Amino acid sequence: MPFDCDLFLPVSWEDMTRRGWDFYDFLLITGDAYVDHPSFGTAIIGRILEAEGYRVAVLAQPDWHSAEAFSALGRPRLGVLIGAGNIDSMVAHYTTAKKRRHDDAYSPGRRAGLRPDRATIVYSNRVREAFGCIPIVIGGLEASLRRFAHYDYWEDKVRRSVLFDAQADILTYGMGEYATLEIAARLASGTPVSEITDVRGTCVVGKYPGLCAYPRVEVPSFEEVSASKEAYARANMVEYQEHDAVSGKAVIQRHGDRFLIVNPPAFPLSTAELDRVAELPYVREPHPMYDDMGGVPAIEEVRFSVTHNRGCFGACNFCSLAFHQGRTISCRSHDSVIREVRALTGHPGFKGYIHDVGGPSATFRRPSCQKQLKSGMCRNRACLAPEPCPNLDADHTDYMMLLRKLREIPKVKKVFIRSGIRFDYLMKDPSGEFFTDLVQHHISGQLKVAPEHCVAHTLDYMGKPHIQVYEKFREKYFKLNRRYGKDQYLVPYLISSHPGCTLEDAVQLAEWLNRQGHMPEQVQDFYPTPGTLATCMWYTGIDPRTMKPVFVPKTPHDKALQRALMQWRKPQNRKLVLEALHRTGREDLIGYGKHCLVRPDRGGPPVGRGDPGALSSKNRPAKGKKPRADTRTRVEKKESSARPAKKASWAKAKPKKKR
């Protein structure tokens, strides 16, 4: 369906002329294609400024090779706001193995290369060339995670705060609405940008620490964290702990003869404020200028989805959410979500399915406990792992009632939940009623959850619950599926090569997967993104929570061994799996037994007589014949024979046998 260009924010001088504008206030630059949808930070910032009466123009994915493209819309009256896009530009461009990606879902037609590496820095420097001394504010996920001196995986070194390299005036971190509106109001009142130094949720550069207006703590300098991994770990832990709107202090970090001043985080939006942001007049579509380029694929995942919350107290150490959105939950009202869903039913492409009602973690609609609201998040323990806090409030009633209301809306056939569900949080729900609703109404064939590993100490480094919690969840999940006659699957997300995971641990994970009858189709290697505690472990070899050493699988070969063990049945992984088993002394897993991962090499050493994997009279091949090569599980065999057109899965809920 074609959309009127005038429904979007202006993207050209012609758009502004049609509106009768002879000037505009803010230029909003983004590394993503322009999609006017509340899942895109550019759209949110543009619309909240528009709602306050400012004139905003959007410059999406400009040609960064010269400054000419940045001045195409003329000089804005008040300033330039810059973001790299919804994800870090380096993550968008490179795999964990640092290989260049061939497509980009946030660009028209999935075309790669339409944004530069380190887009925040490049765009900001080009704006300086184009406009000289103009207020520049950088924000978004890339700037937020790089606000301190940080380890950069792609260059394998510690870099300065991005604020220095970008030559910007202010950096906003977190979601940015409060900070952006306050900065805009001060600029509009004539306040010089150099005097806007005390806005919560922002970073500035000063010549002396006394410029900071808040109680503060100083962390080791850029020079210190570059030279000492112990200093880096100490700094990272303080930066993480102070990211709390209630209890957090400002953080000061010296860079040479200047000081990075990171003001305390902005307070989360209230329910009424979040409702207002979500219900601004978004078109909820990519700009029509991309129609002939293949559209913007990223819209497909969110076009008929609803975000109802922000923040996550799950505190996974490898996740950037805690360092960006924070651990305090804010949520929208039922009425606001219902209005959005009713509006979606009028979309010409709507077929009756709401793809997601979620957020960072779908089931979080309340603070983890009442203490959090008064005193902030606890500094020395997590809410859920390794054991749930005794004060945890895990009541799912409010979310369950919201979903029930959405299911009753005319034209809505199904309401699915596809964003993350914390199974450990779900298992603490005192009533268990939501679990029943989930299985009956909100799963689109398969439920994806994230146990991540099975070894206790590896899970502790990840900040995840121990595997027994997942196994209890899995058992209950299939029990409910059988009770209600559902044929639904369970897909576990797993990470290989996480800090703290040894090769022995990886073998144990392969054993566990084999017992479950599952081999993942895709494996996620740990990706060291800026700012997270796990990235600190990866770089320093130190757990910043305890300052104790931690093993890190760093070499490409070590990582390949761990990844191969998670997909041991693939023929191309055979040599790596054999090497891993020999290196760990686990030859008992080489053989023909049900518990074995691989068969022995032809002409290789015989399997020991006392070895559990040795050939017995039952599994020994007949003379002159090769052993059976069929390593499928019983469930996979049954699936392939009963329903050859349907993909087999280890996690099918099996019906009870009739007596």
Which two structure tokens, joined as six digits, stand for 278? 């979500």
Q: For 293-338, how does the pLDDT look when each residue is reduced to its tens digit (9 = 90+)?
A: 999 999 999 999 999 999 999 889 999 888 889 889 999 999 999 9
The neighbouring-strand residues paired with 30 are 60, 83
Q: Do domains 5-204 and 304-444 have the same CATH topology?
A: no
Print the SS3 string covering 289-336. HHHHHCCCHHHHHCCCEEECEECCCCCCCCCCHHHHCCCCCEECCHHH
- Cα dihedral 195→200→203→204 (10° resolution): 10
Taking only the tens place, the pLDDT of each residue in 18-44 is 999 999 999 999 999 999 999 999 999
Q: Which CATH class is domain 5-204?
A: alpha beta
Query: What pLDDT digit, counting tens, does each position of 473-494 carry?
Result: 999 999 999 999 999 999 999 9
Alpha helices in 466-573 (DSSP H): 467-483, 503-516, 533-540, 556-566
Say what angle helices 271-278 and 41-51 make with each other, to 10 degrees: 100
pLDDT for the residue numbered 604:
52
pLDDT (average), residues 375-403: 92
- Show the tokens assigned to 600: 């022995």
CA–CA gap between residue 33 and residue 40 (Å, rounded) = 10
Q: What percent of the chain has pLDDT over 90?
A: 82
| pLDDT for 628 | 40
Q: How high is the mean pLDDT of the chain?
A: 90
pLDDT at 622 over 60: no
- Of 84-88, 174-178, 237-241, 628-632, the poorest mean pLDDT is in 628-632
| Mean pLDDT across 540-568 | 96
How much of the chain, in percent, has pLDDT values that exceed 70? Answer: 91
Cis-peptide, bond into residue 544, ω within 30° of zero:
no
Confidence of residue 612 (pLDDT cuts 50, 70, 90): very low
- Span 223-233, pLDDT tens digits: 999 999 999 99
pLDDT at 519 exceeding the cut of 80: yes
pLDDT-derived band at 603, boundaries 50, 70, 90: low
Q: What residue segments make up the domains of the chain, in order of their start?
A: 5-204, 304-444
Write out pLDDT tens, residues 399-452.
999 999 999 999 999 999 998 899 999 999 999 999 999 999 999 889 999 999
In the structure encoding, which two tokens stand for residue 38, read together? Answer: 């509340």
d(CA 86, CA 175): 11
DSSP letter (8 states) at residue 590: B
Residue 94 pLDDT exceeds 50? yes
Spell out a b/e string for 405-444, using b for 16 or more CB atoms within 10 Å of the CB, else e: ebbeeeebeebbbbbbbbbbbbbbbeeeebbebbbeebbe
- pLDDT interval class at 624 (50, 70, 90): very low
Question: Which residues, 6 or more positions from 46, have their beta carbon under 8 angstroms from its beta carbon?
Answer: 9, 28, 56, 58
- What local confidence, expressed as pLDDT, does residue 618 receive? 39
Tell me, what amino acid is at 385? A
> Has residue 523 got a pLDDT over 90?
no
Residue in this structure with the two tokens 């960006």, named with its chain if needed: 324
**Nearest-angstrom CA–CA distance, 534 and 233:** 11
Note the pLDDT of residue 562: 96
Tell me, what's the pLDDT at 372?
A: 84
Q: Is 396's pLDDT higher than 90?
A: yes
Q: Tell the burial category of 571 from Cβ atoms under 10 Å away from its Cβ (0-12, 13-18, 19+).
A: exposed
Q: In this structure, which topology does domain 304-444 adopt according to CATH?
A: Transcription Regulator spoIIAA (3.30.750)
Mean pLDDT value across residues 370-384: 86
pLDDT of residue 657: 44
Token pair recorded at residue 560: 């390949």
- Tell me the pTM: 0.89
CA nearest to 232, candidates 16, 535, 581, 553: 535
Q: What is the pLDDT of residues 535-552, one digit of tens each?
A: 999 999 999 999 999 999
346-355, 399-408, 603-612: which range is least confident on average?
Answer: 603-612
Q: In this structure, how many other beta carbons lie within 10 angstroms of the beta carbon of residue 112?
A: 13
Q: What is the pLDDT of residue 2?
A: 58
Q: Choose among 514, 487, 505, 493: nearest CA to 448.
A: 493
